[in-house]
Chain A
Amino acid sequence: MMMAALLSLVLLMMAIYTFIFISTRLLGWLLLALYAGAVFIVWWPDITTAIAHGMGIGRGVDLVLILVSVVIVNVIMFLVRHVYFMHQQITKLARHIAIVNGSQTKTK
């Protein structure tokens, strides 16, 4: 009971922090709902088992792990693509600086 309360408190603090610092309102509410769902699962874990059985998965924890894995893989793919895009932007910026400075040097 005490661990469940402690975990709920941590999730609540993360929910508030996320809600405050996420600028997109819709995303903020979505994340708040996810944290609320996490707190619900902490106090009523059997709900995951019921949902899992309905989906043909043996245990509730397996369902949670599968969902978390899917989210993590998608986030990683998004980050990789974002980093690649930023890398290209940095390249363009460095190129622009080199060309502007270089053209000034040659005319001297």
Chain B
Amino acid sequence: MTTFSPAFIDNRIFIVVAAYNEASVIGETIGQLTPLTSNIIVVDDCSHDATSQIALATGVHVLRHPINLGQGAALQTGIEYALALGAEYIVTFDADGQHMVGDMLPMLEALKLSKTDIALGSRFLGSTRGLPTSRRLMLKAAIAFTRLTGGGRFSDVHNGYRIMTRHFANHFKFQQNRMAHASEILTYITKNNIQFIEFPVTVTYSPHSLKSGQRNSNSLRIVMELILGRVSK
């Protein structure tokens, strides 16, 4: 059993979980988080299953988009709600069980010690379980693409495990609704010389998370979304 220092049971910490059709795992994910804090915000991105109902039954905050907007939009909704409730630290945490709750406290402590604005989880500094080779290659290619296009030097460019300060969340807004949001935040950090740390985390791939997660063919779509996002401004 993992024990946490009293300093972590802090009403200023909010955990945002964006979910879309995660009825089979959301209950378990929330169950792992509730020992840490009651400040959990599940944003249901208009799921067709019982994601909202299951989350509501646990007593956490549940926001539901009336239409499907994408993970980026869902995270931004949760972040804005967390800020309105007075959050000082906001954790973004995947709903599908890929992330380890045990990484959260050490990452938060590292963020506080570093006095930076955001901690980015990195599976390549940490470890992965069950990562298919094709997915690994795609992620590595994404890292190289990010560096080549001026997106910055990061060891993991598609990890949803982050802890940001209120200061960061007040200034950065996800504009990309869908999967390109992951690249968007890195570009923002690079272009604005935001101080950050990368923190080793463990990412576990299950059949469910592989099925509902990023398809390799979506990489091209992410590039198009980013280009269109820049062109349309």
Residues of A within 8 A of B (CB): 80-81, 84-85, 87-88, 90-91, 94-95, 97-99, 101-103, 105-106
Contact = CB atoms under 8 A, between A and B. Distances in A.
Contact of A95 (B76, B175, B229): B76
Query: A-B pairs with the 3 shortest C-beta distances?
Result: A102-B63, A84-B232, A98-B63
A98 B228 contact: no
Main SS class of interface, B: mixed
Contacts of B12: none
A95 B56 contact: no
Interface residues of B, number: 22
Interface stretch (B2-10, B65-73, B95-103, B115-123): B65-73
A91 B77 CA distance: 9
A105 B228 CA distance: 36
Nearest to A87: B177
B64 A101 contact: yes
B65 A94 contact: yes
Contacts of A98: 43, 63-66, 77
Contacts of A81: 232
24 contacts: A80-B228, A80-B231, A80-B232, A84-B228, A84-B232, A91-B177, A94-B65, A94-B67, A94-B69, A94-B73, A95-B73, A95-B80, A97-B65, A98-B43, A98-B63, A98-B66, A99-B63, A99-B81, A99-B84, A101-B63, A101-B64, A102-B62, A102-B64, A105-B62
B196 to A, nearest CB: 26
Given A94-B66, A95-B76, A97-B66, A102 B61 contact: yes
Contacts of A85: 232
A103 B56 CA distance: 12
